[in-house]
């Protein structure tokens, strides 16, 4: 019988996993005993500040009050991403990937009617009210909108360090998670190869029936102990390094962007995330194409251009090996977070996969050891599929670029480096738009609408002449007008982004 779970690692992955499982199983008659062990000698990675809207549901399930989260984690709203310089690198090269679905999505073939009626307009700007809200610096909800509810779909920007501490306090105080600050030295095994216990420096052996490896990139249990290899992805997605720095605002009332800005560089891209008290800015790049010094010079130039500041702190250097584990659940050990894999920060998929992994472990928590092998098989199949879809989706951002200014961009468009499934989809999309039937799993990491936003944002055009559907023209036009009219209404009704965050911190939001 599964009664004890040990989670190793107190980064975002460890605490999100502990929170989700504890919140959903604490009312059970034979309550689970959950222990989280975190090494005082190994700091969490401290980056990972952009999330998907799924984080709202995750925090709600964990039982966190959204207002408390805003106060404790220096959190802000994220309504999507703006991609600058990805298509051709020209001065006005910019498009949005908003979190809200296009108006009328699934009702009519919006891309076909966009190309027929308004080919000169940016796709996202025509079908969604949200890009304008971002440009105008509006919050995605009102003062009276209850916690976790949205007027326009949103996720968060947050301070990763504060997020871990906030979840730790909540999990310990409200959910009964037992916290052990200690370094895991080795694994004690059963004869059959299962993990029996973890040997710690000061607390002896800590036993459990299920062990969750949230030890970050070192993957202590799954990677090091069990030797489950990483399936490398650098031949598809080249980035393997990052420089991260915090940039102060020039004034306390400076606007907070409610979208992530992703600005293409000569061999990578720069993220720019607005929190209430600072910006988090980082350059992700491929070390094969650019030196650390050149990457830092591009980062400094970007910060000087966007804030006028030239005296920023020395950026933190991070290295990663893009890939995901051959399997994620082996015997009585499952890896969640960086220990399971990491590709790159584009589109903030990592925390979304953490949330999905923790939710599946919690929902399918095996009652017996025999059931565990079945759940493990299902888990491995589900997450291999999801990592592959993440890779396809991220590669989509690069492969359509018309930039040829550096070897990085030229190589990124090499068809030989495009995964076969994405190649097949791109062939199909030459004559039709991405649709829900292309992504048929119940829970996809990225919805088909996101593929439309990126595909057409990157300048791709489908040839819809085989099935022109003129009968849909009026209906589509209605949705285009609806998006424009909603944008006007929301601009009138939604507060300034910083003003709402300030209000939440002082007065809180209405509880649901
Ligand atoms: C440059 C960069 C940018 C990113 N940006 C984003 C983003 O915008 N959005 C997003 O979703 N994701 C992003 N990510 C990914 C995100 O940072 C991670 O998915 C997230 O922080 C989870 O990390 P983790 O908890 O798995 O690992 P970590 O934060 O590294 O935590 C590892 C934990 O394991 C513990 N540990 C290690 N060894 C031992 C031991 N022997 N004994 C006991 N404990 C041990 C450590 O003490 C630590 O608590 C980014 C990643 C990088 C590299």
More confidently predicted of 308 and 402:
402
Is the model's pLDDT at 442 over the cut of 80?
no
Q: Please give the pLDDT value at position 470.
A: 83
Q: Distance (Å, rounded) from C-alpha 301 to C-alpha 219?
A: 35
Q: Using the atom order of ligand 1, give the atom closest to the CA of residue 183.
A: 42
80 lines ligand 1 (CB under 6 A): no
Q: Distance (Å, rounded) from C-alpha 296 to C-alpha 310?
A: 12
What tens digit of pLDDT does each residue of 499-511 get? 999 999 999 998 8
Number of C-beta neighbours around residue 102 at 10 A: 25
Q: Using the atom order of ligand 1, give the atom closest to the CA of residue 348.
A: 9
* Pocket mutation for ligand 1, best pick of 223, 337, 341, 357 (most atoms within 8 Å of C-beta): 337
Q: Please give the pLDDT value at position 291.
A: 98
Is the model's pLDDT at 29 over the cut of 70?
no
Judged on CB neighbours under 10 Å (0-12, 13-18, 19+), 479 is buried
384 is written with which tokens? 């291999």
What tens digit of pLDDT does each residue of 119-133 get? 999 999 999 999 999
Q: Distance (Å, rounded) from C-alpha 159 to C-alpha 47?
A: 8
| DSSP class per residue in 53-86 | THHHHHHHHHT--HHHHHHHHT-EEE-EEEEESS
Q: What is the mean pLDDT of residues 9-17?
A: 98
Where are the alpha helices (H) located in 219-271, listed in sequence order? none
242 lines ligand 1 (CB under 6 A): yes
Q: Distance (Å, rounded) from C-alpha 325 to C-alpha 257?
A: 35
Q: Contact, 231 vs 323, CB < 8 A?
A: yes
What tens digit of pLDDT does each residue of 318-373 get? 999 999 999 999 999 999 999 999 999 999 999 999 999 999 999 999 999 999 99
What tens digit of pLDDT does each residue of 386-413 get? 999 999 999 999 999 999 999 999 999 9
Letter string b/e over residues 21-44, b meaning 16 or more CB atoms within 10 A of that residue's CB:
bbbbbeeeeeebebbbbbbeebeb
Q: How far is the CA of 123 from the centre of ligand 1 (A)?
A: 35
13 lines ligand 1 (CB under 6 A): yes
Confidence category of residue 282, pLDDT binned at 50, 70, 90: very high
CA atoms within 13 A of residue 190's CA, in its CB half-sphere = 12
Q: How far is the CA of 12 from the centre of ligand 1 (A)?
A: 6
Residue-averaged pLDDT of the chain: 96
Q: Contact, 146 vs 511, CB < 8 A?
A: yes
338 lines ligand 1 (CB under 6 A): yes
337 lines ligand 1 (CB under 6 A): yes
Q: How far is the CA of 160 from the centre of ligand 1 (A)?
A: 9
**What is the distance of C-alpha 277 from the center of its chain?**
22
Confidence category of residue 441, pLDDT binned at 50, 70, 90: confident
Q: Contact, 329 vs 354, CB < 8 A?
A: no
**How much of the chain, in percent, has pLDDT values that exceed 70?**
100
Q: How far is the CA of 215 from the centre of ligand 1 (A)?
A: 7
Angle at which helices 160-175 and 54-62 pack, to 10 degrees?
30
Is the model's pLDDT at 26 over the cut of 90?
no
216 lines ligand 1 (CB under 6 A): yes
Q: Please give the pLDDT value at position 443.
A: 84
Q: How far is the CA of 510 from the centre of ligand 1 (A)?
A: 32
| DSSP class per residue in 117-134 | H-TTS-HHHHH-SHHHHH
Q: Please give the pLDDT value at position 421.
A: 95
More confidently predicted of 315 and 444:
315
């Amino acid at each position: 019988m599964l009664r004890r779970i040990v989670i190793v690692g107190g980064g975002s992955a460890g605490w999100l996993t502990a929170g989700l499982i504890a919140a959903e199983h604490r009312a059970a008659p034979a309550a689970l005993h959950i222990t989280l062990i975190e090494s005082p000698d190994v700091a969490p990675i401290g980056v990972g500040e952009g999330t998907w809207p799924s984080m709202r549901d995750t925090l709600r399930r964990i039982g966190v009050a959204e207002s408390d989260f805003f106060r404790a984690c220096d959190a802000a709203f994220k309504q999507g991403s703006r991609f600058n310089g990805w298509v051709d690198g020209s001065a006005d090269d910019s498009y949005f990937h908003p979190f809200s679905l296009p108006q009328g999505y699934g009702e009519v073939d919006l891309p076909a009617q966009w190309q027929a009626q308004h080919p000169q307009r940016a796709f996202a700007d025509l079908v969604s009210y949200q890009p304008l809200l971002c440009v105008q610096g509006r919050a995605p909800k009102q003062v009276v909108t209850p916690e976790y509810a949205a007027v326009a779909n949103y996720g968060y920007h947050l301070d990763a360090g504060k997020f871990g501490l906030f979840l730790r306090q909540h999990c310990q105080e409200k959910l009964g998670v037992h916290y052990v600050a200690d370094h895991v030295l080795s694994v004690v095994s059963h004869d059959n190869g299962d993990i029996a216990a973890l040997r710690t420096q000061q607390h002896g052996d800590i036993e459990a029936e299920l062990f969750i490896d949230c030890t970050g990139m070192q993957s202590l249990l799954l990677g090091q102990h069990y030797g489950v290899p990483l399936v490398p992805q650098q031949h598809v997605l080249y980035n393997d390094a990052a420089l991260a720095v915090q940039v102060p605002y020039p004034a306390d009332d400076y606007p907070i962007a409610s979208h992530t800005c992703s600005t293409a560089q000569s061999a990578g891209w720069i993220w720019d995330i607005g929190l209430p008290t600072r910006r988090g800015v980082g350059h992700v790049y491929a070390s094969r194409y650019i030196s650390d010094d050149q990457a830092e010079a591009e980062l400094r130039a970007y910060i000087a251009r966007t804030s006028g500041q030239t005296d920023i702190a020395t950026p933190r250097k991070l290295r990663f090996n893009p890939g995901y584990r051959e399997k994620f659940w082996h015997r009585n050990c499952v890896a969640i977070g960086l220990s399971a894999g990491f590709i790159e920060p584009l589109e903030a998929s990592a925390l979304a996969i953490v949330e999905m992994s923790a939710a599946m472990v919690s929902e399918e928590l095996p009652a017996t050891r025999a059931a565990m092998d079945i759940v493990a098989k299902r888990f491995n199949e589900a997450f291999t599929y999801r990592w592959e879809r993440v890779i396809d989706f991220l590669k989509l951002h690069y492969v359509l670029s018309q930039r040829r200014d550096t070897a990085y961009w030229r190589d990124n468009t090499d068809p030989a480096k495009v995964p076969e499934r994405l190649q097949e989809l791109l062939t199909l999309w030459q004559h039709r738009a991405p649709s829900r039937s292309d992504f048929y799993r119940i829970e996809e990491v990225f919805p088909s609408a996101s593929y439309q936003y990126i595909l057409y944002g990157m300048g791709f055009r489908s040839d819809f002449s085989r099935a022109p559907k003129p009968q849909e023209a009026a209906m589509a036009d209605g949705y285009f007008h609806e998006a424009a009219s909603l944008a006007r209404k929301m601009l009138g009704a939604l507060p300034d982004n910083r003003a709402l965050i300030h209000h939440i911190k002082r007065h809180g939001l209405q509880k649901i």
